Amino acid sequence: MVYLKTKNSNYWKKKNIIQVEDLLFKFMFDNRSMPEICKEIYDKYDAPYIGTTQACVPSLIVKTVEDIQAVFAGDFQSFYSRGINTNPNDILSDNLLFASHFPRWKLMRQKLSPVFTSAKLKNMFYILEKCARDFVSLVESDENMRKTPFNVLYTYTTASIGASVFGIDTQTKNTMNSPFLEMARKSVEPTLKTNLFIIMADMFPKLFNFLNLKFFADYEDFFVGAVKSVLADRRLGNDTKRYDFIETCLELQKNGVMQDPSTGYEIEPTDEVMAGQAFFFFIAGADTSANAMHFTLLELSSNQKVLNRLHKEIDAIFVPGKNEITYKDIENLPYLDMVLNEAMRKFPPVGVIQRECTRNTVLPSGVKIKKGTTVQVPVFAIHRDEKYFPNPQEFDPERFGPDNSKGITNYTNLPFGEGNRICIGSRFARLQVKVGLAWLLHRFTLAEQSHYPVKFEKSSFGLRDPTARYDLIPRKV
């Protein structure tokens, strides 16, 4: 503990830069989320950057748009790594979210990007739409479930991701009966064990690997086994197009070794490699999408005028006798887009984004960054900065109207990150959330209340308030 408190404790002070106490140390002994801690530091100091450490590793919280743009895009070659150390034997960590080896990350991104094109999402839409209908049926059928709305939303996001990865099982009457629900929930749940693993991986990576510690060891056999089983069944099955992620895996395996033509770097698309990419959907999407829906509904319950306007827009796509909605219908919900954008502005799914410097460089603000230093982009703080968003505590979807959105400063609205490593699944996530909200708000409205979270669950990267409630009231439609 003394080592953690003292090593590099004057690293930034020696450079005449404001330095605050170690972020991870503060997080471990505080009862707040990391985004809240970073926001407190951001608001307290009138400086372009603030120095700190993370488990003794020098770290810098950046505040200027120019520095943020450099980290995410302009100087990407110096900041391509997330700075998350994982065990090479951790199969489920070998995915786009955690990959720090640039050639490997680049090749996997190239091969997986086509999964999220508009054409692919249109083909996949029937899966999300079926899940959204089953989700609403579940909410309608069990009044007790409405007492814990976040859990119901988590069931939807996990089940819809599971169906998008593995396809819809024709033997399953309700897609909400997902075998992946508990795995998805526990894999991202903030725990002392996870936080200690992160610290050990950062401070003692060799020991971490020597002990063969893995972030997702508890789910490896189950999840890798599930992927192997489905892949094997599909290879023996018919040629019916499923348009799910497993189909993409089969196509990649059929084409043989994946190769980056510009570098020659190769990856063998084994079942294990494919399992790591499939797992990425769950750890990157289930919790973040559930939180996006959750905070949207919380804000709507506190803003009845916005809710009523949204009801009218959504009801317009549900013509009498219509039992399904289409991809085009979801595209024709501009106000829902604005409401969702504003909810993610106030409550970004990822409230702080980390990058590791991979070579010595200088940020536009003039600060020198050495290789191995981490940089924190405090998304939550930026989204609540009145310099970029006037009256930041107010829920105002009009910020994202056709005219107003043009005035938003680049690199200040970061719900999915930005630049070269922007969330690859952002369009999928938005579609998943919007179709779920469209079905839910067609069948239910929200009792009026005033709820404004002032404190969030202790999380190392996200903003979570899973115990918050709102009353879902059936509508006569």
Annotated binding site for heme: 423
Give, rounded to a whole angstrom, the gap between the first and last alpha carbons of the chain: 60
Contact between 195 and 28 (Cβ < 8 Å)? yes
Sign for the pseudo-dihedral over CA of 396, 400, 403, 405: positive
Q: Which amino acid is at 312?
A: K
For residues 213-232, b (16+ Cβ closer than 10 Å) or e, as one string? bbbbeebbeebbebbeebbe
Q: Which residues are annotated as a binding site?
A: 423
CA dist list (Å): 414 to 116, 375, 384: 19, 16, 12
**Secondary structure element (H or E) that encloses residue 220, with its range:** helix 217-236
Q: Which amino acid is at 172?
A: T
Contact between 101 and 248 (Cβ < 8 Å)? no
Q: Judging by DSSP bridges, how do beta strands 266-267 and 258-259 pair with one another?
A: antiparallel
DSSP 382-400: HHT-TTTSSSTTS--GGGG
Q: Please, which residues bridge with residue 267 across strands?
A: 258
Counting Cα atoms < 13 Å in the Cβ hemisphere of 283 gives 22
The number of residues making up the chain comes to 477
